[in-house]
Amino acid sequence: LGMPGFTAYHGLLNIGRPQPGETVVVASAIGAVGSVVGQLARLKGARAIGIAGGPEKC
């Protein structure tokens, strides 16, 4: 996953620390880091909601 994966992992799991059942809102969910954050949040049992720049990106 490289640097985007490491950035997502560190930001979500070391700083955000989501708990099962919580909701995680991911800005720029279409990007490399955002897409990994959404996947990691789901693996931790959280609900992931992604936000993108506009209809063409959704």
Q: What is the pLDDT averaged over residues 46-56?
A: 88
Q: Are 2 and 30 within 8 A, CB to CB?
A: no
- Residue-wise pLDDT tens digits, 11-49: 999 999 999 999 999 999 999 999 999 999 999 999 999
Report the CATH architecture of 2-57. 3-Layer(aba) Sandwich (3.40)
> How buried is 11 (Cβ within 10 angstroms: 0-12 exposed, 13-18 middle, 19+ buried)?
middle
What is the model's pTM?
0.85
The reported pLDDT for the residue numbered 55 is: 74
What per-residue confidence (pLDDT) applies to 31? 92
Average pLDDT, the chain: 93
Assess whether pLDDT exceeds 70 at residue 51: yes
